[in-house]
Amino acid sequence: MSPTQTEMIPLLWTVKDRGIFMASLQQFEESLKHKTIITGCKIAILSGSTTSLVSRLLKLFLLNNGIKAEILEGHFGNFFIDAMNPSAELIAFEPDVIYIHSSRVNLKSFGNLRSFEASDDGHSLVDNEVSQSLKIWKSLSDKFDCWVIHNNFDLSPESPLGNSEATEDFGHNYATTEINRRLVSESKNFAQVLIHDLNSLSASIGLDEWWSSRDWIQYGLAVSTMAHPRLGFSLASVITSVLGESKKCLVLDFDNTLWGGVIGEVGINGIELGPDSSRGKAFLEFQLTIKDLASRGVLIAGCTKNEMKNALSGLNHPNSILKPEDFAVIEASWDPKPIAIRRIIENLNFGMRAFVFVDDSKIEVHSVKTEFPEIETILLDSKFPEKYSSMVLRPRYFESFKLTKEDISRKGTQATPRVKKLKNASTYDHMQMLKDLNAVATIGRPTSDQLERVLQLVNKTNQFNLNGIRRTPLEIKKFAEDADSLVLVGEFKDDLTNYGLTTVIGGRFEGGSFKVEIWVMSCRTFDRYLEHAMLLALRSEIAIESANGFSLDFKRTARNDYFVGTGVALGLFDKSITDGTCQVDGKMMVIPSELPMKVVSR
């Protein structure tokens, strides 16, 4: 599978060694050889400095977006002449986009900036620079029916006059800032002229990294070699946007994405969301980022393995910035996420390329990417929620070259949250996806050093919990050691993650039968058939001593609806189950003939 933008950003953006950079660039190029092409684009680059590297990177980043670019490069430093008197070659090329690759090295007036008359205050020099840009735009607009992308100007990393460079009329940075402000204002009079924000881009990288005197003197590069990937990526994002290929909908997980913790386990008062802790504040900041995207016309959808009541209670938390009405649709169910996302796609009626899916679970991101290769995915690390905003914004999936009133007024709500499921048209094979992960479940009696984890699972697990009874360390020890009791634990791992000890089942032998009094499983391994493996292991262990099968010491709690649904699906009982002892008919159990994992007995 080709690397996604998200995967390539840290690879190409952070390399400092020139040799490693060129090798990484070659690797990226190789990975895109079989990329699916959705559209083409012809781009003419008018040169204010050397353009070969930015041209190469622009092609690669556009290709990564499914856009095959044909690029015509102008002669070095000839951008003004090429714009005013286009060559026959440029006219015959009929570009879709003309990119003017200018920067601060092309600000000719700066050579005289210190010697202007006091009464002039340098404004005529600013006027001259803006006037040149206006001439370029008018000439190109008269001669070509295409988009014109023009850089604004970066600042110098050197400040001979120190702070005065930014505060006095005669300062380079002051004049540059004024030129940039004027360019934005004047560009609004040209329907197809876009300002590419080189100034902000250079600031985000850092001017010392952005500029290299060596690269300028030796190669004519107005941007350092190491900063070129960010430049190429930024341009590709703008061009992708003008071609109408920006993403339209952000699909968000809820637990450990919009708030810390699993709301079905800890309840609304137990989630981390608010100003009272650093993690709580980090999730608030991320919600603010999402709210900002929604206010700019990006549709927000929820896709969470949860009861709808739990999902909505999280959004209605008093500290939550995002509310249910900010979402175009909310899919809260226990279905595999590819199936839920299929319903979101059908509901919103966008093509798959319009979606970005965000989750903190490797298995969920993997399953969605496997089923929908065209959907971009972002895997969050729940240990660092303070990085969430950057991970969603840096890929620039939702680039908008010009915001309209309709974009701003659209915001999030397109439909009310849906509980009713649409017809499932998915061909997604969940069992096969799980098999491909080479999962291994290791099941056996707990060792002494595992009893603390067993106690933790029993006392903290709510959604998959037989009865919600909390146990003391002594009770757990007796369950594990007494001759008339049995406890089995399950450890789980696959190619993506080692989940560790995630499930416990245990009980006592009573008069020729076995009564299950403990059965819990971490939500991290829901939908992995681990409960089936544990049932089979239990049945094997109790077969000799429990001729009458087994029963369940069940109690309905405020949070164990998932256990009830799973038990019904397993054939252990029906929906009308009541609190108390429930006898299980082993012949009615629903267990696949083959599980999507290797089961190892310990």
Q: Which domains occur in the chain, in start order?
A: 5-242 (3.40.50.1110), 250-428 (3.40.50.1000), 437-601 (3.40.630.30)
- The C-alpha angle 355, 358, 360, rounded to 5 degrees, equals 160
DSSP annotation of 420: S
Give residue 406's pLDDT: 47
Give residue 147's pLDDT: 97
Give residue 261's pLDDT: 97
With CA atoms as reference, report the closest residue to 61 among 230, 206, 194, 226: 230
Side-chain-facing half-sphere of 384: CA atoms under 13 Å? 8
**Nearest-angstrom CA–CA distance, 331 and 303:** 5
Give residue 25's pLDDT: 87
pLDDT digits (tens, 9 = 90+) for 142-165: 999 999 999 999 999 988 889 988
Give residue 110's pLDDT: 58
Strands of the 67-73 sheet, one edge to the other: 67-73, 39-47, 97-101, 147-151, 193-196
Residue tagged 């001439």 (tokens): 135
With CA atoms as reference, report the closest residue to 86 among 106, 72, 67: 72
The predicted model scores a pTM of: 0.88
Segment 544-566 shows an average pLDDT of 90
pLDDT digits (tens, 9 = 90+) for 454-485: 999 999 999 999 999 999 999 999 999 999 99
pLDDT digits (tens, 9 = 90+) for 424-443: 445 789 999 999 999 999 99
Residue 108: pLDDT band with limits 50, 70, 90: confident
pLDDT digits (tens, 9 = 90+) for 328-341: 999 999 999 999 99
Segment 352-371 shows an average pLDDT of 96
Beta bridge partners of 485: 508
**Nearest-angstrom CA–CA distance, 529 and 544:** 25
Q: What are the C-alpha distances in Å from 275 to residues 281, 282, 310, 381? A: 5, 9, 22, 21
**Residue 587 pLDDT > 90, yes or no?**
no
What six digits make up the tokens of 205?
């990288």
Q: Is 48 left (phi over 0), alpha (psi -120 to 50) or beta?
A: alpha
Give residue 8's pLDDT: 57
* Torsion sign over Cα 28, 33, 38, 40: positive
Give residue 423's pLDDT: 43
pLDDT digits (tens, 9 = 90+) for 244-273: 999 999 999 999 999 999 999 999 999 999
Residue 68: pLDDT band with limits 50, 70, 90: very high
Q: Phi and psi of 49, rounded to 5°? A: -160, -175
Burial of 185 (0-12, 13-18, 19+ CB in 10 A): exposed
58-62, 364-368, 401-405: which has the minimum mean pLDDT?
A: 401-405
Segment 12-38 shows an average pLDDT of 84
